[in-house]
Structure 1
Amino acid sequence: MNFIIAETQKAILELYKEEVAESVINIQDTRKEFEGQATIVVFPITKISKKSPEQTASEIGAYLVANVEDITKFNVVKGFLNLSIAESYFLNQFNKEILATDFGVYPSNGKKVMVEYSSPNTNKPLHLGHVRNNLLGYSVSELLKAYGYDVVKVNLVNDRGIHICKSMLAWQKWGNDETPESTGLKGDHLVGKYYVIFDKEYKKEIEALKAEGQTEDEAKKNAPLIKEAQNMLQNWEAGDVDVISLWTKMNGWVYDGFAVTYKNLGVDFDKYYYESNTYLLGKGTVEEGLASGVFFKKDDGSVWIDLTADGLDQKLVLRADGTSVYITQDLGTAEMKHDDFDMDESIYVVGNEQDYHFKVLFLILEKLGKSWAKGLYHLSYGMVDLPNGKMKSREGTVVDADELIESMITTAREKTEELGKTNDFTEEEKEELYKNIGLGALKYFLLKVEPKKRLLFNPAESIDFQGNTGPFIQYTHARIKSLLSKADYQFAPNSEQFSGISEVELEIILLLAKYPSEIAIAAKADSPASLANYIYELAKLFNKFYHEVPPIVKTEAGDEKQFRLNLSKKTADVLNAGMLILGITSPERM
Structure 2
Amino acid sequence: MTIQEVLSANVKKGISELYEITLPSVEFQPTRKDFEGDITIVVFPMLRHIKGNPVQIGEQIGAFLKENVTAVSDYNVIKGFLNIVISDSFYVSYFDTIRAERDFGLVTASDDAVMVEYSSPNTNKPLHLGHIRNNLLGYSVAEILKASGKKVYKTQIINDRGIHICKSMLAWQRFGNGETPETTGIKGDKLVGNYYVAFDKAYKEEIATMVAEGIDKKVAEKEAPILLSAQEMLLKWEAGDEEVVSLWKTMNGWVYKGFDITYKNLGVDFDTLYYESDTYLLGKDVVADGLDKGVFFKKEDGSVWIDLTDEGLDEKIVLRSDGTAVYMTQDIGTAIQRVKDHPDINGMVYTVGNEQDYHFKVLFLILKKLGFSWSEKLHHLSYGMVDLPSGKMKSREGTVVDADDLMEDMTKTAGAISKELGKLEDYSEKEKEELYKMIGLGALKYYILKVDPKKRILFDPEESVDFQGNTGPFIQYTYARIQSILRKANETGVDLTMVPDAALILHPKEKELIKQLQQFPDTIQLAAENYSPALVANYTYDLVKEFNSFYQQVSILGETDSAKKVLRVQLSHKVGETIKTAFSLLGIAVPDRM
Category of TM-score, reference length = shorter chain: over 0.9
Task: State whether residues 99 and 570 of structure 2, in contact with CA within 8 Å, keep that contact through their aligned partners in structure 1.
Answer: no
Distance in 1 (CA, whole Å) between partners of 2:377 and 2:23 is 33
The match for 2:566 is: 562
Task: State whether residues 557 and 569 of structure 2, in contact with CA within 8 Å, keep that contact through their aligned partners in structure 1.
Answer: no
Question: Deviations 1:425-450 (Å, cap 9, x if unpaired)?
Answer: 11111111011000000000000011
**Amino acid paired to 1:553:** L
The match for 1:177 is: 178
**Amino acid paired to 2:509:** V
Q: What's the CA shift for 1:116?
A: 0.6
Task: State whether residues 118 and 130 of structure 1, in contact with CA within 8 Å, keep that contact through their aligned partners in structure 2.
Answer: yes
Question: Deviations 1:39-73 (Å, cap 9, x if unpaired)?
Answer: 11111223444221112111221222223222111
Distance in 2 (CA, whole Å) between partners of 1:183 and 1:213 is 41
Task: State whether residues 58 and 80 of structure 2, in contact with CA within 8 Å, keep that contact through their aligned partners in structure 1.
Answer: yes
1:576 aligns with 2:572: no
Aligned counterpart for 2:500 among listed residues 470, 495, 500: 495
Distance in 2 (CA, whole Å) between partners of 1:70 and 1:280 is 63
Secondary structure in structure 1 of the residue aligned to 2:318: strand
Distance in 2 (CA, whole Å) between partners of 1:296 and 1:204 is 44
Aligned counterpart for 1:381 among listed residues 377, 380, 383: 383
Q: What's the CA shift for 1:20?
A: 2.0
The match for 1:105 is: 106
Distance in 2 (CA, whole Å) between partners of 1:560 and 1:530 is 32
The match for 2:325 is: 324
1:23-422 equivalences in 2 (<5 Å): 23=25, 25-342=26-343, 343-422=345-424
Task: State whether residues 75 and 85 of structure 2, in contact with CA within 8 Å, keep that contact through their aligned partners in structure 1.
Answer: yes
The match for 2:451 is: 449
1:8 aligns with 2:11: yes
Q: What's the CA shift for 1:378?
A: 0.8
Count how many residue pairs are aligned between Structure 1 and Structure 2.
587
Distance 1:549 1:225, change over 3 A: same
Q: What's the CA shift for 1:105?
A: 2.1
Q: What's the CA shift for 1:259?
A: 0.5
Distance 1:555 1:496, change over 3 A: closer
**Amino acid paired to 1:384:** V
Aligned counterpart for 1:17 among listed residues 17, 20, 30: 20
Task: State whether residues 93 and 502 of structure 2, in contact with CA within 8 Å, keep that contact through their aligned partners in structure 1.
Answer: no
Q: What's the CA shift for 1:102?
A: 3.9
**Amino acid paired to 1:16:** Y
**Amino acid paired to 1:119:** S
Q: What's the CA shift for 1:238?
A: 0.7
Q: What's the CA shift for 1:214?
A: 2.3
Q: Which runs of 5+ in 1 are unaligned?
A: none
Aligned counterpart for 2:530 among listed residues 525, 540, 562: 525
Task: State whether residues 112 and 344 of structure 1, in contact with CA within 8 Å, keep that contact through their aligned partners in structure 2.
Answer: yes
Task: State whether residues 492 and 562 of structure 1, in contact with CA within 8 Å, keep that contact through their aligned partners in structure 2.
Answer: no
Question: Deviations 1:204-230 (Å, cap 9, x if unpaired)?
Answer: 111111222222221111100000000
* TM-score normalised by length of structure 1: 0.98
Task: State whether residues 89 and 502 of structure 2, in contact with CA within 8 Å, keep that contact through their aligned partners in structure 1.
Answer: no
Q: What's the CA shift for 1:520?
A: 0.3
Task: State whether residues 295 and 306 of structure 1, in contact with CA within 8 Å, keep that contact through their aligned partners in structure 2.
Answer: yes
Q: What's the CA shift for 1:498?
A: 4.3
Question: Deviations 1:116-143 (Å, cap 9, x if unpaired)?
Answer: 1000000000000000000111000100
Distance 1:16 1:126, change over 3 A: same
Distance in 1 (CA, whole Å) between partners of 2:440 and 2:510 is 31
Root-mean-square deviation (Å) = 1.2
**Amino acid paired to 2:23:** V
The match for 2:509 is: 504
Secondary structure in structure 2 of the residue aligned to 1:213: coil
1:479-494 equivalences in 2 (<5 Å): 479-488=481-490, 489-494=494-499
Question: Deviations 1:380-432 (Å, cap 9, x if unpaired)?
Answer: 11100011111000000000000000000000000111111111111111111
Task: State whether residues 285 and 332 of structure 1, in contact with CA within 8 Å, keep that contact through their aligned partners in structure 2.
Answer: yes
Q: What's the CA shift for 1:98?
A: 4.5
Distance in 2 (CA, whole Å) between partners of 1:101 and 1:192 is 45
Distance in 1 (CA, whole Å) between partners of 2:58 and 2:281 is 66
Q: What's the CA shift for 1:368?
A: 1.0
Identify which range, 574-583 or 315-324, moves more after superposition. 315-324
1:538 aligns with 2:538: no
Secondary structure in structure 2 of the residue aligned to 1:487: helix
Secondary structure in structure 1 of the residue aligned to 2:434: helix
**Amino acid paired to 1:402:** D
Distance in 1 (CA, whole Å) between partners of 2:102 and 2:468 is 31
**Amino acid paired to 1:574:** T
Secondary structure in structure 2 of the residue aligned to 1:291: helix
Task: State whether residues 40 and 82 of structure 1, in contact with CA within 8 Å, keep that contact through their aligned partners in structure 2.
Answer: yes
* TM-score normalised by length of structure 2: 0.97
Distance in 2 (CA, whole Å) between partners of 1:47 and 1:225 is 71
Task: State whether residues 92 and 500 of structure 2, in contact with CA within 8 Å, keep that contact through their aligned partners in structure 1.
Answer: no
Distance in 1 (CA, whole Å) between partners of 2:429 and 2:503 is 45
Distance 1:557 1:426, change over 3 A: farther
The match for 1:460 is: 462
**Amino acid paired to 2:460:** N
The match for 2:591 is: 587
Instruction: Report runs of 4+ in structure 1 exceeding 6 Å deviation.
Output: none
Q: What's the CA shift for 1:279?
A: 0.8
Q: What's the CA shift for 1:557?
A: 6.5
Task: State whether residues 161 and 276 of structure 2, in contact with CA within 8 Å, keep that contact through their aligned partners in structure 1.
Answer: yes
1:516 aligns with 2:494: no
Distance in 1 (CA, whole Å) between partners of 2:455 and 2:426 is 42
Secondary structure in structure 1 of the residue aligned to 2:505: coil
Identify which range, 153-162 or 4-13, moves more after superposition. 4-13
Distance in 2 (CA, whole Å) between partners of 1:67 and 1:155 is 55
